[in-house]
Structure 1
């Protein structure tokens, strides 16, 4: 059976029947639009898209995995603003020959990842397309706080990281070379482990700037440095190379710090804090902000790509 056999509205019924609704959803799928509560009177909004062959491969990842990844990429952006995610809207474009089971499992992954933060999938759209594409829009609530933007870093601030970097990039490299292990790395590529609660926590601690690390730590910190008009220096010694990553790097002939410093898709959160702030777990210091411009590693320019660019 394919989605062509089920039809658009039959597929919508099968997918929406699998989606529970969180407390912020006042009216879910079934009408022309959903209704989501906004206690703060402001709504944080972000959107992201996953395209088959560009962001995922069905022979590498299950539909459940893709659902988790698609949701995580958007939920992390909301958390990086210091907000709590409330809802997701999903647009799904897929070839007519795809099994409806694939779409149902995708919905399960989206719903399960959203449930981690108390959010839910409240609506979306579907269309036939020669390329399987998942586009997600996330909404969030600031809880009365100011958003933590990229332009607030100041000289003297501490650069800190919550979550891990390099794991997903290492997993991607392993898969692209035809291997399926180490499991730790491959699973990190398939389903990121995002420290969602660290975003609002950072806002309460007084973070001056924050960003979701989606394209690579150095590249994303570069956005903070440019927006804030400062220089960000990252300390290489702040990053421990786990055994599985070290072994994979040696076997594949890769410098593991290329993954740690420039690898994306883990969706860690990077933030800057005033030096007087005591950083609780999961935040850990990884560098400093100073006068100047750009991003350096141990005071020197980093040689090599700093992260992912879709058009290069």
Structure 2
């Protein structure tokens, strides 16, 4: 399987030694590196009947790349481990590899896969560890927002949740199980929304843009804008005041919907955030409080322990 998979992957520009030995060697010119990891498990995180193999590889890369971007770093390398049932077809794993490769080319040019592991399991699992280069900058933390800062967001808001709702409503058979043919039909009719759920395209490059523009705080929005915004507010000891008119036609889905993998950032007062960031509110002094046009905001969102039916994504 490795002989089939590894030629499909590029180690990237930072690899001094890629896959094939006991470990890889990756350059860290800054003297530091950012590292993060994420796990995708069949059942709570994806359904094979709905996701194509390419989708799985793409999403596994995208979710980790955004975490690196949220620190203000440039992604440099991924290590990928896959555990799969022994009956898994090799072409499914090849499709995952192709998705990883294509996501890196599109979202983080120059980054690559430098190694990983394969094992057997009763369910398919994909674990990715991602590395990033701060390029001499200080990391952008969740804890730096201050009252008066501009609150801005880059990326989709609620599209992945809308896509998931379509799949649940229209891509299950009579017994309630996910159906691949129905999913393809839903995707053909709603490519943007279903694609946002199955193969998100987060604004990875915006992380470095935010850092160089002086962002005071930033985080990846994966569990819902309101839920993750609460984390930033609590870490910084501030409140966040959202503007309804900045959140589109359906502000509640924009706040609650998960898995868009956008970036939420705070910038010093008077800053015009770089595109693709859009101003959606302001930081205030009411510690831990989130409001929408002055009204309290529900900060529930995606929780992996509630399962698919209980969560937003």
TM exceeding 0.5? yes
Is 1:148 the counterpart of 2:127? The answer is: no
The CA deviation string for residues 181-223 of structure 1, in whole angstroms up to 9 with x for no partner, is: 4222111111111111110010001000000110000011111
Alignment of 1:225-264 (within 5 A): 225-241=233-249, 256-264=250-258
Is 1:207 the counterpart of 2:215? The answer is: yes
Is 1:97 the counterpart of 2:87? The answer is: yes
Does the residue aligned with 2:123 lie in a helix, a strand or coil?
Answer: coil
- 1:22 touches 1:115 (CA, 8 Å); kept in 2? no
- 2:218 touches 2:263 (CA, 8 Å); kept in 1? yes
Find the counterpart in structure 2 of residue 251 from structure 1. none
The CA deviation string for residues 87-136 of structure 1, in whole angstroms up to 9 with x for no partner, is: 00011000011100000010010111122312101100111000100000
User: How far apart, in 1, do the equivalents of 2:59 and 2:213 lie?
Assistant: 28
Question: Normalising by structure 1, what TM-score?
Answer: 0.90
Find the counterpart in structure 1 of residue 68 from structure 2. 78
- 1:50 touches 1:133 (CA, 8 Å); kept in 2? yes
User: How far apart, in 1, do the equivalents of 2:61 and 2:158 lie?
Assistant: 20
Per mean C-alpha deviation after superposition, the further-off stretch among 260-269 and 40-49 is 260-269
Is 1:278 the counterpart of 2:275? The answer is: no
- 1:217 touches 1:306 (CA, 8 Å); kept in 2? no
Alignment of 1:167-186 (within 5 A): 167-179=159-171, 180=186, 181-186=189-194
Please list every run of at least 4 consecutive aligned residues from structure 1 whose deviation after the TM superposition is greater than 3 angstroms: none
Find the counterpart in structure 2 of residue 66 from structure 1. 56
Query: Runs of 5+ in structure 1 lacking a partner?
Result: 1-10, 242-255
Q: RMSD of the TM alignment (CA)?
A: 1.1
